[in-house]
Amino acid sequence: MPRVSEEHLNARRQQILEAARACFVTKGLHNTSMQDLIKEAGLSVGAVYRYFKSKDEIIAAIAETVTSGILQHIHAVAARRLPLAESMEAVLEAIEAQMGPGGTLPIALQVWAEASIDPAIAAIAHERYTTLRKALQVLVEHAVESGELPAGTDVEAVTSAYYSFVPGYALQRLLTGGPDKEIYMRGIRELINR
């Protein structure tokens, strides 16, 4: 029997994740069943379960894909060693990209809601968002090193506040349609420059 190529396996896995995204956007995370995902993917039950044992595994894989892209973006921003406000503006570019058609922030909002009642999803959210916050801490550390923030700054505390700008922006945009990035950044600059 011929071996299935790694490329084929990755394509099938991606096909399942795309089907899951489509289901989650139209039916919601909670209302989407594995049968819905299987039907949307156009694969057999066995084929889907070969890659993912549960809906939670699919949610974790989607979260990993999204946050790894944002992490790469944050690392690239960190390498530029920009001032804090400019760093945040650059980070928000990755958030903007996930808000448009085909973006995954609408799914992220559902994950946030489900995390408050489902321990398995809460664990996924905790792990991914802790990783993102840790990546943003490097930007705060750079601000201390450059003298933008004073020596002795509580880096962890500032990182926690700084990080809140990211989901805060995404949540406002998803729920109200605004503010746009320019207005939001004007507010951040006002806060940072005080």
Mean pLDDT computed over every residue of the chain: 92
Classify residue 2 by its DSSP letter. Answer: P
pLDDT single digits (tens) 70-113: 999 999 999 999 999 999 999 999 999 888 777 888 888 888 88
The CB-side HSE value for 7 (13 A sphere, CA atoms) comes to 0
Residue whose pair of structure tokens reads 């321990």 in the numeric block: 119
Residue type for position 44: S
- End-to-end alpha-carbon separation of the chain, Å? 68
The mean pLDDT of 157-185, rounded to a whole number, is 95
The mean pLDDT of 140-147, rounded to a whole number, is 97
Domains located in the chain, CATH noted: 1-53 (1.10.10.60), 55-192 (1.10.357.10)
Rounded CA separation 168/173 (Å): 9
Q: Per-residue pLDDT for 2 more than 60?
A: no
